[in-house]
Amino acid sequence: METRRITVLSAGLGVPSSSRLLADQLAASAKRQLEAAGYSVEVETVELRDLAVDIANNFVTGYAAPHLADVIAAVEASDGLIAVSPVFSASYSGLFKSFFDVLDPKSLDGKAVLLGATGGTDRHQMVLDYAMRPLFSYLRTRIAATAVFAGPQDWGAASDAGTSLASRVDRASGEFSQLLEGLQPGRKLAPMESLPFEQLLAGISGTN
């Protein structure tokens, strides 16, 4: 059974935060749909607020502290990312952007990404298309067509349009899951990871 690794990045600041709640729903739905398609799924969730000091120090020193370095390695080794940010001043949070600023710009090339955002009013939902999507397009990722915005009215109730948050989450996660099926161009081997013998043999045979 093939394994798909998903790293979930939440830039929420509260405990708990609506960004983390949305991130958990997206991850659970993607895991369920990938398992139904026959994949084994490993999910690692990262609260970026726990890395705030390390991220700031990285800008000053140019070096990642061990915890930050581990998260960066996990992101690079994953098949897909679920990235969720709260909205401040009509854009993603500074913490969210700072994390991606410390990554190698080429490290996300080809990786599948599912985007989410939370805010206090639906007027903020345009952040998905006018701020977050351009950022991940610049990083050359493969972005799920549907992104999810969750406002206060979405928690435990249907929206005015009659589409529940759960329905939107399942649709976006389904598109994300489809991106994770088949060969994954954006995956890098984790430290000390080796390919199965059958894959190594197939690679050698293909060069003959």
Please choose, from the candidates 42, 47, 56, 54, the residue with its C-alpha nearest in 3D space to the C-alpha of residue 12: 47
pLDDT at 78 over 90: yes
Question: What is the architecture of the domain spanning 3-205?
Answer: 3-Layer(aba) Sandwich (3.40)
Identify the residue with better confidence: 195 or 153. Answer: 153
Q: Which residues contact 97 (CB under 8 A, 6 or more apart)?
A: 135
pLDDT at residue 48, rounded to an integer: 98
User: Under the phi-then-psi rule, with left for phi > 0, alpha for psi from -120 to 50, and beta for the rest, what region is 111?
Assistant: beta
The predicted-structure confidence for 54-76, as pLDDT tens digits, reads as follows: 999 999 999 999 999 999 999 99
pLDDT at 198 over 70: no
Per-residue confidence band for 168, with pLDDT thresholds at 50, 70 and 90: very high
Least confident of 30-34, 92-96, 119-123: 119-123
Mean pLDDT (the chain) is: 89
For 118-143, write each residue's pLDDT tens digit.
Answer: 998 877 889 999 999 999 999 999 99
* Cα–Cα distance measured from residue 86 to residue 102, given in angstroms and rounded to the nearest whole number: 19
Is the per-residue pLDDT at 161 higher than 50?
no
Q: What pTM was estimated for this model as a whole?
A: 0.86
Domain boundaries, the chain: 3-205
